[in-house]
A and B are shown apart, each in its own frame.
Chain A
Amino acid sequence: MRFNKLSILAGAVMALSSLAAQAAEITGAGATFPAPMYAKWAEAYKAATGNQLNYQAIGSGGGQKQIIAKTVDFGATDDPLGARLAEEKLLQFPAIIGGVVAVVNVPGITPGQLTMNGKVLGDIFRGAITTWNDAKIAAINPGVTLPATPITLVYRSDSSGTTATFTDYLGFTNDKFATEIGIGKTVNWKSGVGGKGNAGVAANVSKIAGSIGYVEYAYAKQNKLAHAAMINRDGKRVQPDDTAFAAATEKANWESKPGFGISLNDQPGAITWPITTASFILMHLTADKPARSAEALKFFDWAYKNGKQLATDLDYVPIPEAVVTKVQASWKNIKDAQGNPVWK
């Protein structure tokens, strides 16, 4: 009896594994910022093609490590690699675009009511403005009554691409921020409270009265946090949404950096959201497993073509058509051991 059960089980396992062998499986790991997007795409892709994508949101640094160690078919990072691309013989291309917003917890302030610019935001995050009724904040917020409560900063406690984007913008628009705090995935904040991941920052901001933090826009929306409107490069007051993020990509010169690794911060345009970033995919130029690399590229090809509505639903911005053409041209550089391109 027992033996029978075992043999049935073994049979089932064998049947399952042979099924799995028929459908292609793609593995990726990295940034948490685009993870909700990849999860949604993977679900739709499986329904459409039967192929499975396993994406592990372990952070941008982790994604870089895993692809270099060749444990995954692709790595994902919000923080583009510069010179290291050539050193590690990697190909990099953008997969999705999103925006970072400052979120505040000030009693009486509703989402989008408060206005910020790079200078004031930089002064707040370097600890030079310490109370909400500071004259510099009041000057760009006429008609908004702000309390005398102290400002508590909320930042990312883990190494994060969101921090890299946010500090890159603040450093670009506020020289003192650049010298005192610096730019990068981790920086030395002078005061405040750390939260793990976008979700951790959102939770801390929602719980600490008088706090200000920064998150990817979808997290602000989901948690109903009060985001601040921004005054952009053209001096216009803008609210974050997918059209404002998309506007940041219009004048961008994608080919000015290796692997399309440009910053989309502080771009010109009347409706442009000033803190915008692309999230990138990393793959080896010489494919050890050409079939798997081709499957991964097929997935992104499918996502560029069919994933636009899903992206907009989640408040991300799809990569513009013109850039996709250039990205797909760069895919020809991924070759197998014999030097044949894996992407046809």
Chain B
Amino acid sequence: MSAAASSMDLSKQSNTVYSEEFIRRVHQFNWQDRLFAFVTFSFALLVMIGLGGILLSLIIESAPVFKQYGLGFLAGTKWSPADDVFGAVIAVYGTLVTSGIALLIALPLSFGIAVYLTESCPLILRRPLGTAIELLAGVPSIVYGFWGLFVLAPLIQEYVQPGIILLNIPMFAGPPLGIGVFTAGVVLALMVVPFIASVMRDVFETVPQVLKESAYGLGCTTWEVVRSIVLPYTQTGVVGAVMLGLGRALGETMAVTFVIGNANRLSGNLFAPGNSIASTLANEFAEADPALHIPALFALGLILFVISFLVLALAKYMTSRSSFKPR
């Protein structure tokens, strides 16, 4: 394409008549180009078909449960395979709350890491630190699950929860189990930090050196540079990084299943065991009854799909509105 275009430009400039050979070659390029476009288009189409197919099968498979409960399924607070009664609230609540806790912890942490790596870190440490964080992103989630259950949960049970319970805050009540919604949120936070931090670092590095140097030259502190130059310049990327982390937290299965407690009970207490959409699916799919239980699990999958879609849509909307406004 580019070769053809540039030679055409050349020929226009020199104002010559096109030779047969030249036209033949342009046509040849055209033909190759169209084939190339078609092949790549079919690849792209494959993704669309896959996405549509998944969505469609989720809708078809979950139909019986919506026939039974209507939209009341979304508001049902009881999930009991034993009584054949299914409602989505417990799992949706667990998914949203664990992901919320994860973001609450991971966001400031990742932001700090990214700022340190791009602004204050000695050059010699940048690469090893950055690589270490990327390695953390590569740790399989089941390892986080094991580690959460065998190392983190006992530590939280012994040293963190008793102290917080004494403070008598309504959302943090005893007994300290170590396992529960709160612990799941903490494990998720550690899992999403490397994702958010490494993407944030990459976008912070795109800020033109001249902008930052001018600000430093005016006497700004590092914090002022980050707040007034780096953040406004990279808004889009930062939102993207957060959404990427949120996306991972929402769908995380194994690590959450290990530490969330797998209890189908609704509780405002963050130290109580709960269940998320992904962990409910992991626990119950293999042995589910085809009549209503499996459709109910498919419906949970559909809800997770919709939540993830909304998160992405929101991210796109927010990033499309943002523009560089230095403060």
A196 in contact (CB, < 8 A): yes
B43 in contact (CB, < 8 A): no
Known A193-B262, A207-B150, A208-B157; contact A58-B286, beta-carbon cutoff 8 A: yes
A152 and B283 form a contact (CB under 8 A): no
A196 and B83 form a contact (CB under 8 A): no
In the assembled complex, which residues on chain B have CB atoms less than 8 Å from the CB atom of A160? 287
In the assembled complex, which residues on chain A have CB atoms less than 8 Å from the CB atom of B289? 61
In the assembled complex, which residues on chain B have CB atoms less than 8 Å from the CB atom of A209? 157
B82 and A208 form a contact (CB under 8 A): no
A27 in contact (CB, < 8 A): no
B175 and A152 form a contact (CB under 8 A): yes
How far apart sit A195 and B82, CA to CA, in the bound complex (Å)?
A: 17
A59 and B287 form a contact (CB under 8 A): yes
Q: How far is the CB of B108 from chain A (nearest CB, A)?
A: 29
Known A194-B262, A194-B273, A196-B257; contact A208-B286, beta-carbon cutoff 8 A: no
A192 in contact (CB, < 8 A): yes
B194 in contact (CB, < 8 A): no
> Which A-chain residue is minimally distant from B273 (CB atoms)?
A193
Total inter-chain residue pairs, C-beta < 8 Å: 79
B149 in contact (CB, < 8 A): yes
> Which A-chain residue is minimally distant from B81 (CB atoms)?
A186
How far apart sit A59 and B81, CA to CA, in the bound complex (Å)?
A: 16
B107 in contact (CB, < 8 A): no
In the assembled complex, which residues on chain A have CB atoms less than 8 Å from the CB atom of B287? 59-62, 158-160, 185
B81 and A193 form a contact (CB under 8 A): no
**A39-78: which residues lie under 8 A (CB-CB) from chain B?**
58-62, 65
How far apart sit A196 and B174, CA to CA, in the bound complex (Å)?
A: 24
In the assembled complex, which residues on chain B have CB atoms less than 8 Å from the CB atom of A186? 81-82
Complex partner residue of A184 from B82, B180, B257, B275, CB under 8 angstroms:
B82
Complex partner residue of A188 from B83, B150, B273, CB under 8 angstroms:
B83
A61 and B149 form a contact (CB under 8 A): no
Could you tell me how many residues of chain B have their Cβ less than 8 Å away from some Cβ of chain A? 30
In the assembled complex, which residues on chain A have CB atoms less than 8 Å from the CB atom of B179? 193, 204, 207-208
B286 and A158 form a contact (CB under 8 A): yes
B251 in contact (CB, < 8 A): no
Complex partner residue of B283 from A62, A187, A196, CB under 8 angstroms:
A196
A59 and B286 form a contact (CB under 8 A): yes
B160 in contact (CB, < 8 A): no
B284 and A158 form a contact (CB under 8 A): yes
**B168-183: which residues lie under 8 A (CB-CB) from chain A?**
174-175, 177-180
How far apart sit A208 and B176, CA to CA, in the bound complex (Å)?
A: 9
In the assembled complex, which residues on chain B have CB atoms less than 8 Å from the CB atom of A184? 82
Q: How far is the CB of A75 from chain B (nearest CB, A)?
A: 13
B175 and A150 form a contact (CB under 8 A): yes
How far apart sit A207 and B150, CA to CA, in the bound complex (Å)?
A: 7
How far apart sit A265 and B178, CA to CA, in the bound complex (Å)?
A: 34
Q: How far is the CB of B38 from chain A (nearest CB, A)?
A: 29
> Which B-chain residue is minimally distant from A152 (CB atoms)?
B177
Known A188-B80, A193-B273, A195-B262; contact A159-B175, beta-carbon cutoff 8 A: no
Q: How far is the CB of B159 from chain A (nearest CB, A)?
A: 13
How far apart sit A122 and B4, CA to CA, in the bound complex (Å)?
A: 82
A positions within 8 Å CB-CB of B? 58-62, 65, 149-150, 152, 157-160, 182, 184-189, 191-196, 203-204, 207-210
What are 23 sample pairs from A and B whose C-beta atoms fall under 8 A apart? Answer: A59-B287, A61-B286, A62-B286, A65-B290, A150-B175, A152-B177, A157-B263, A157-B283, A159-B81, A159-B287, A159-B288, A160-B287, A187-B82, A188-B82, A193-B263, A194-B262, A194-B273, A196-B262, A196-B283, A204-B149, A204-B179, A207-B149, A208-B178
10 pairs of A and B residues whose beta carbons are closest in the complex: A194-B262, A159-B287, A61-B287, A157-B262, A193-B261, A157-B283, A150-B175, A186-B81, A59-B287, A193-B273
